Amino acid sequence: MDGIRLDIRFERAEARYAGRTVLQPLDLALSERRIGVIGLNGSGKTTFARMINGLVTPAAGRVTVNGFDTATETESARRQTGFIFQNPQNQIILPILREDIALGLQARKLAKPDVRAAVDAVLSRFGIGHLADRRSHELSGGELQLAALASVMVTEPAILIMDEPTNQLDLKNRRLVVETMQGLNETVIAISHDLELIAGFDRLLLFHEGRLAADGAPAEVIRHYRDIASA
Amino acid sequence: MRTLYVEGRSVLHRMPPRAKLLGLATASIVLFATRSIPLLGMFCVASAAVYLLPRLAPREAFERLRPVLLTIVVVGLFTLLFDSAIEAAVFVLRLTSLMLLAAAVTATTGISAFMEEITRLAMPLERIGLVRAADIGLAVGLVIRFVPEVLARTQAIRDAHHARGLKPRMLTLAVPMIILTLGSADEIAAAIDARGLRGQN
């Protein structure tokens, strides 16, 4: 994946919700392999991440992912990005893991043998082949995160957005998810309150009250975040 | 995510989903073609036998039907009060039979098999440009997926009432349940979009 060019651009992109501006006009270009997004609750970080996937379209300005406009070329932009939601339970549509992972490929009208091969490959990639025929409510928090990851990565997006990937996980499951995340070749954008998780990232973005308050190396941005949090 | 599907190898499990759906549709027509109470009674007993084929535990078998059964009883009582005993009996027997048969179909058909079949059945509509067949299949699958979720959520809200020493009331149960369900429906819709599960050519 190292050879794949990543280019996410925000050009005066602004988000509004119910008449209120939740993300002030933002100019930004992202190309790093590991990008962390931090901020207090309600600071605009999830809106920012959702704009990359086209789940939130800009009220003004534009967002492009590898040249595809998320508002007008949504399907192409989405093929570049996978999104793992805060609650993986809501992301898994079908009860049996194998069937759920297959959904994304079936939507692309792949032949059944190809779907089966791709599902087996992604299950094996994330070491969850033994969970293939299990029901999602029988899985632990960490296994659920890996299941959600497999259901997204089966369509081979170049960019993976993770919203609070270690939220509500015990130490064992957290380690499982962190190790898996570290092993990914794809670009990862993680929204997280888990500062330990993102401390080693290439770049951190700090959002505060709907604005980008800091952008740079983790140590410096985390210091800024602590100042805001303690104010 | 709990599911209405029950693992098993009964005759119903082995039947193709299409046969089960067609059987259900035929049964519903036959049920409404007769008003004979003995005939409807026999139909109801036969439906109960079909419902018990997947070998559900008696308590679970009853719990699954309780909300619908309650609705049938309430409407039956109204019919008895405002119409006649015969009308009420016809109504209750018809709907109870249908409920039992439909529950037997959902208990023996996995969501993905359902979706595949509904998608296939909706293909003629896609060919004339009316709908996307896969979207119809997905919508039906989501409805089946949501039923146990809504029931589990209602139970959790009921437990929260008891934990706080409050008596559950219709309004205090319904409002948080609707809000939570709508919130989770939004999230699931976003996940469907993010995963590109609909609207693709």
Q: pTM of the predicted model, to two decimals? A: 0.79
- Residues from chain A contacting residue B147 (CB–CB below 8 Å): none
Residue spans per domain, chain B: 11-109, 132-194
Q: Given pLDDT bands bounded at 50, 70 and 90, which one contains residue A24?
A: very high
Average of per-residue pLDDT across A164-185:
87
Q: Quick check: B196 contacting A, CB < 8 Å?
A: yes
The string of DSSP codes covering A169-199 is --HHHHHHHHHHHHT--SEEEEE-S-HHHHT
Given a cut of 80, whether residue A3 has pLDDT beyond it is: no
Q: Helix (H, G, I), strand (E, B), or coil: what is residue A83?
A: strand
Q: Quick check: B186 contacting A, CB < 8 Å?
A: no
Distance CA A123, CA A143 (A): 11
pLDDT at position A6 is 82
Given a cut of 60, whether residue B201 has pLDDT beyond it is: no
pLDDT at position B151 is 83
Q: What is the pLDDT of residues B12-53, one digit of tens each?
A: 999 999 999 999 999 999 999 999 999 999 999 999 999 998
- Residues from chain B contacting residue A94 (CB–CB below 8 Å): 111-112, 141, 145
The CA distance from A155 to the nearest CA of chain B, in Å, is 9
pLDDT at position B199 is 56
A145 CB contacts (<8 Å, ≥6 apart)? Answer: A84, A88, A165, A169, A173, A176, A177
Task: State the average pLDDT for chain A.
Answer: 90
Q: Given pLDDT bands bounded at 50, 70 and 90, which one contains residue B88?
A: very high
Task: Give the number of other Cβ atoms within 10 Å of residue B16's Cβ.
Answer: 11
How many CA atoms lie within 13 Å of A81's alpha carbon, on the beta-carbon side?
35
Given a cut of 90, whether residue A88 has pLDDT beyond it is: no
Given a cut of 70, whether residue B2 has pLDDT beyond it is: no
Least reliable range by pLDDT among A128-132, B7-11, B42-46 = B7-11
Given a cut of 90, whether residue A172 has pLDDT beyond it is: no
Which carries the bigger pLDDT value, residue A206 or residue B60? Answer: A206
ipTM of predicted complex: 0.77
Q: Quick check: A93 contacting B, CB < 8 Å?
A: yes
Could B112 and A96 be called an inter-chain contact, meaning their C-beta atoms sit closer than 8 Å?
yes
What is the distance of C-alpha B129 from the center of its chain? 29
pLDDT at position A190 is 95
Among A54, A82, A107, beta carbon nearest to B197: A107
Q: A53 to chain B: nearest residue by CA?
A: B194
pLDDT at position A1 is 45
Given a cut of 50, whether residue B144 has pLDDT beyond it is: yes
pLDDT at position A220 is 95
Given a cut of 80, whether residue A4 has pLDDT beyond it is: no
Given a cut of 60, whether residue B1 has pLDDT beyond it is: no
Q: Given pLDDT bands bounded at 50, 70 and 90, which one contains residue B67?
A: confident
pLDDT at position B42 is 96
Given a cut of 80, whether residue A209 has pLDDT beyond it is: yes
Q: What is the pLDDT of residues B168-177, one digit of tens each?
A: 888 898 899 9
Please check whether residue A39 is in contact with residue A225, taking contact to mean a CB–CB distance below 8 angstroms.
yes
For A207, phi then psi, to 5°, come to -105, 140
Q: What is the pLDDT of residues A97-125, one digit of tens each?
A: 998 999 888 888 889 899 999 999 999 98
Average of per-residue pLDDT across B174-188:
88
pLDDT at position B69 is 92
Average of per-residue pLDDT across B95-106:
94
